[in-house]
Amino acid sequence: MEIYIPTILEDEKLFQQGITSGINFAKYEKIPAKLTGENGPKPLKTFADANLRELIKENIKKSGYNTPTPVQKYAIPCIRAKRDLMACAQTGSGKTAAFLLPIIHTLLEDGCEPAAGESPQRPHAVVVAPTRELVVQINDEARKFASGSMIKAVNIYGGTSTGFQLSNLFKGCNILVATPGRLMDFVDKGKISFESVKYLVLDEADRMLDMGFLPEITRITSSGNMPGKGERQTLMFSATFPEQVQVLAFDLLKDYLFLTIGVVGGACDDVEQKVYEVDKFAKREKLMEILKDVGTNRTMVFVETKKNADFLATYLCGEGLPATSIHGDRLQREREEALRDFRSGKMPIIVATGVASRGLDIKEVKHVVNYDLPKEIEEYVHRIGRTGRLGNLGKATSFFDSGRSEDQGLAPYLVKILADAGQEVPDFLASGGGATGGPSSGGGFGGRDIRSGAANNAADEEDWG
């Protein structure tokens, strides 16, 4: 029986959580933006152009946002114009606010009330995300932007007391943020109905549409009382959108706009990327060399297996480096505690599996280390995007093990990502990558079917419930 009850932050504390824009924020102006589709609206120049309600404008100011990012400039008018949208923008570029602000504004304009006590609950917006931590974060953002209004945002996700979540839900819910499994569990039990849904949002949409999650997403969209496409607005956001996933997305969208900010699937060039050739037996020593000066700088170390995450965190603690770990086998209470310790700086090093690679917005993450490289290049882009967010500078260091077939397979894609971001491509990588043939130009990655690999990751690491 799941009895874990999470801590819910007070509204005022939510305003202190976000990342403030960094030294390179002004560079965002120069990132090329492309909106394709018929009759796309003009982008905003300022938040004032969006004609949002006064209360929302105040909450934007309290959040420390002064100028909209490129994805916000384009996405907000698209959503206000009631268009379906697929948006691809680099990590750390303000995608969550880009969909929440217009949704909250419209729900307020339409006078949508949270129907406390009603069963089933009929949310007006449903946001689905692949990990529990991301669900918590999106919900906090929704609560922050809606603070002081009647709009209620509620989250539901696995590993947590269902009784607690249901009692929260029945206090009234306009915006529901959920992992797919827990969402459909509550729908199947008659606690939630989709009949009033105006907005369906898939965050990290490429992951939500890979083979790991696709059956659940199909079940959500074809649920008996979910309004059909065209009757609801469907919004998809991610930093990576392989071509195969773009094709899958067509089934869920109607008369949609496709927004790309920068290169589809490209890495943020505020992150200095370095790749070292390190065999598996030398990795620990190389990591210690890198971490010896970590001090209070927050560092995320990504590994392949859950077992190694715990082992490495314990080893680092034994060497006098305060570290914690996060992965799919830890209890939800332990996962949230690890993240809290990392956010606060109590544990400046967190060893993580893929469960922490997407979407997490944590202040002062200075360095990401790929102790084990991921199997897919999309995962690499998301991992290194935990640093260098909103114009802040960051570093990403990766260990390339030439004896590991996964690393060899990733080499040509890694060469392209480094070259596109203006980073140094080491000789060992260029020669290794050349043998297997590089990825194609354009938005995708050489017609490679990313879905089976992504499905393995989803099954292993991400959250059905």
Is the pLDDT at 211 greater than 70? The verdict is yes
Please give the structure tokens belonging to residue 254: 């109607």
Choose from 60-64, 174-178, 391-395 the range with maximum mean pLDDT.
174-178
User: For the segment 382-402, what is each residue's pLDDT rounded down to a tens digit?
Assistant: 999 999 888 788 999 999 999
Region class of 393: left (phi > 0), else alpha (psi between -120 and 50), else beta: beta
Distance CA 364, CA 344 (A): 10
State the pLDDT at residue 234. 98
**Does the pLDDT value for residue 4 go beyond 60?**
yes
Segment among 63-67, 289-293, 387-391, 393-397 with least mean pLDDT: 387-391
Residue 459: pLDDT above 50?
no
pLDDT for the residue numbered 433: 46
Mean pLDDT (the chain) is: 89
What's residue 443's pLDDT?
38
Work out the average pLDDT over 278-288.
96
pTM to 2 decimals?
A: 0.88
Whole-angstrom distance, CA of residue 133 vs CA of residue 200: 19
pLDDT recorded at residue 442: 36
Given a contact cutoff of 8 angstroms between Cβ atoms, the answer to whether 324 and 352 are in contact is: no
Burial classification of residue 450, based on how many CB atoms lie within 10 Å of its CB (0-12 exposed, 13-18 middle, 19 or more buried):
buried
Cα distance between residue 394 and residue 169, in whole Å: 38
Contact 443, 241 (CB under 8 A): yes
SS3 of the chain: helix, strand, coil, percent, to 5? 40, 15, 45
Rounded Cα distance, 64 and 354, in Å: 30
Residue 432 pLDDT: 63
The residues near 320 (Cβ < 8 Å, ≥ 6 apart) are none
What structural domains and CATH numbers belong to the chain?
11-261 (3.40.50.300), 271-442 (3.40.50.300)
Confidence of residue 23 (pLDDT cuts 50, 70, 90): low
107 SS3 class: helix
d(CA 231, CA 255): 12
Specify the pLDDT at position 347: 96
pLDDT confidence of residue 420:
93
Residue 67 is predicted with a pLDDT of 93
